[in-house]
Structure 1
């Protein structure tokens, strides 16, 4: 849900380094992700996964050659890290391709189940950040003209937009279509961002705006451990096309977006459960504010913290108006790396929860049919583990709205998670017809 900013508003263009270098600093965005990957123990790494089922005749040698060329094209896929006296640095290998592991499960009793296990194994791997392999490609044969390709990339090296770039590029390479060189590599961006990381008015705004925000203190089913863990499960719900259309129409009538309406429903449920009138919800933004980054692969996505103000007994409509202003203000300042925001706010150290916000919300737009030139569909995978207490994902498609609530199983039971998801969905259904209802209800106590 990022917004694009004209290049001249962001300063000079990102230059390519004079000559390819073997190492590069971490970008400011990578520094924040590095902290998240190393500050909390877990059994999996944050991984961006492409998993697609290809249901047409596939020239396997040509496809694996396309994957090798993909790694030669994007330096992020050839990157590992080394840790020295000054901390981590990126190590960029020379072009040399990326091998694709080939697995044939066509003879198994349930080839599809076997393929899902192989995809889940890649998606749930614990990768070695100190020089280890951070990109893996696997092609699984389920039968004649039936394959699953899985590409797993550590989140330090890629984001959701990168996955779209990689899918487009591998298709073009497989078809033998010419591709222009990417304007920059990720190492170029990292060096540029570090050299231009001056404090500015936007950072000062974030520091003032988020000063003193309390953590969200939801009632828990289990004691919060002293150090945050990554255990997770998920609840899935679907709202039909009529409910999704009503949400869209309601958003338009309030000069808002569906994201803002869904955020209002989420914030309302969190406020009612916690009895709090002040807390933050995090949301990712694309972060590709420079033209040169649009076709690059790397970690450009950023996070912004949206502060919910529920003072003065607002109704749902008033809360929507407040959150609309908050979202617009936050997006206008999305270029500040979140790690800098955290450092400026300097919240009290607490390893039992993530900093500034404990809940994340994202709205995605479903796109049909994979990439041109290959007949493929997304191949489902197990939910990745999470560092935050709750993560709500919404997908708006032509047939309705899908909601997935991922939750920390060390804090919440499945019954509680199902109840939270059901409350959010019910508010989405009823808000268009009853936006005057109070957030907290008559006589509610809150801080």
Structure 2
């Protein structure tokens, strides 16, 4: 097993520390792994695909790095890149089949710096095309990383097919922790913002992080009518907030409907990428604890957006320091939030790879990272599709259908109210303008 000397490399980021420790809490848990999917249109050359994947791994230090404790700290250092192993999957294998074959494979070895495992499933009936499944670890990968991986894989495949070399990669941007003065200000903000926030009501003292990771997740799809994304955007414009605030409010209201909670946090992953990290691969995100107060009362969307926006302005405090600063009571449950909301709204372009074309495909999480989690994606045509997940046997596992119904109902109510308000405002403005014009003409 290859390791790096403890004195080399850089300090690990807060998110890297989080998932490195999580792996030690529940080794091999699917909760820490990411299974992504790439649609390949055209006849794929298996050897070229393997070569291209090896080139991508070599380009990105995160995909060939090891993490080593040193002097009370965790350090990250690159090692020699390894060509990802490629497993043949049955023709037409779906996500669940690929997950069963790949998710717990020993081929993924973060201690050795082997962070990518591939599975290739050709289309059935001999049709040209295939689906490539990419297994990685959250330690080095996030949703936007998959877009970068796919774009780089397409470019590397085209170069490999043409016999062209790979250009030298750009040097990685080192993480920049906040300075002591900024950290003190951020700490003070979060202590005030989250003072006295209670846990989401749960069973007894709730599951531990290990119990969540070791429990198999139960999933329930959440289907929305056509045009739901467009309606959420229109509601956001009427309420002076982005669509994510409308969607997050609908989820918060649904949680209130089933738990009667009036004050709680929802963890929301947001990108922490800087402009020089747009083409980087890594776990470049943080999870904001968005405090939700009185979600059933009027003005809930505005309150949720204000809490979210303020959190974005103060997101640079490392997650482990945030928890240490504001968690004021002991407990077995996840600190700060027990519910997660992940919203994927980025474009999924088609990448020309010479003889074939590549594009990413939305997928669901492999495991539970919270007592209840909702992943929602915006699809072409202003469509929304989501999945609710909870650990099997937990409080929420039996309530997923009811929660899905509540999310749909609450979103419909929010968009209807916003549309009505916007129409009333427009009518009032038109009437005022008409009256003013009439007076001016007299």
Q: TM-score, normalised to structure 1's length? A: 0.79
In structure 2, the residue matched to 1:401 is 384
Q: Distance in 1 between matches of 2:396 and 2:290?
A: 27
Match of 2:199 in 1: 215
Residue 202 of structure 1 corresponds to: 186
Compared CA separation, residues 91 and 243, structure 1 to 2 (3 A): closer
- Find the counterpart in structure 1 of residue 250 from structure 2: 265
Structure 1 window deviating more from structure 2 (358-367 vs 79-88): it is: 79-88
What is the Cα deviation at residue 292 of structure 1?
A: 1.9
| Corresponding residue for residue 352 of structure 2 | 372
Indicate the residue corresponding to 1:121 in structure 2: 101
Q: Secondary structure at the match of 2:117?
A: strand
Residue 432 (structure 1) aligned to one of 408, 411, 415: 415
- CA displacement 1:101-122 (0-9 Å, x = unmatched): 24264xxxxx223885234432
Q: Secondary structure at the match of 2:198?
A: coil
Query: Which protein is bigger by CA-based radius of gyration?
Result: 2
Q: Shift of residue 212 of structure 1?
A: 2.1
In the alignment, structure 1 residue 320 sits paired with structure 2 residue 301: yes
1:388 — aligned with what?
A: 370
Q: Identify which of 260, 275, 286 aligns with 2:271.
A: 286
Q: Give the length in aligned residue pairs.
A: 400
Q: Secondary structure at the match of 1:89?
A: strand
Q: Secondary structure at the match of 1:248?
A: helix
In structure 1, the partner of 2:439 is none
Structure 2 stretches of 5 or more lacking a match? 1-6, 420-442
* CA root-mean-square deviation: 3.2
Paired residues of 1:42 and 1:229 also in contact (CA < 8 A): no
Q: Is 2:307 the counterpart of 1:295? A: no
Alignment correspondent of 2:118: 137
d(CA) in 2 for partners of 1:118 and 1:320? 39
Distance 2:69 2:244 in 1: 40
Deviations 1:384-423 (A, max 9, x none): 1112011111112215211211112231365411101111
Question: Structure 1 residue 357 and structure 2 residue 337: aligned?
Answer: yes
Alpha-carbon shift at residue 135 of structure 1 (Å): 2.4
Q: Structure 1, residues 57-113: CA drift from partner, whole Å, max 9, x if none?
A: 22332222111111111111111233456354334213x4414324264xxxxx223
Deviations 1:199-234 (CA, angstroms, capped at 9, x unpaired): 24223211221122111114x5x9944663232121
**Which one has the bigger helix percentage?**
2
Counterpart CA distance in 2 for 1:233 and 1:224 is 17
Q: 1:346 to 1:131 in 2, by over 3 A?
A: farther
Equivalent in the alignment of 1:148 = 131
Displacement of 1:45 after TM fit? 4.7
Distance 1:80 1:196, change over 3 A: farther
Segment of structure 1 superposing worse, 126-135 or 26-35: 126-135
SS of alignment partner, residue 378 of structure 2: strand
Of residues 59, 63, 68 in structure 2, which corresponds to 1:73? 59
Tell me the distance in 2 between the aligned counterparts of 1:203 and 1:178.
48
Give yes or no for contact 1:98–1:137 (8 Å, CA) kept in 2.
no
C-alpha separation in 1, matches of 2:315 and 2:205: 35
* 1:340 aligned residue: 321
Shift of 1:151: 2.1
Give the match's secondary structure for 1:65.
Answer: helix
Mapping for residues 32-111 of structure 1, pairs under 5 Å = 32-39=18-25, 43-83=29-69, 86=72, 88-94=74-80, 96-103=81-88, 105=90, 111=91
Can you give the 5+ residue segments of structure 1 that lack an aligned partner in the other structure?
Answer: 1-20, 106-110, 437-447
Cα distance in 2, alignment partners of residues 124 and 383 from structure 1: 14
What is the CA–CA distance in structure 2 between the aligned matches of 1:63 and 1:326, rounded to whole Å?
45
C-alpha deviation, 1:40, in angstroms = 5.2
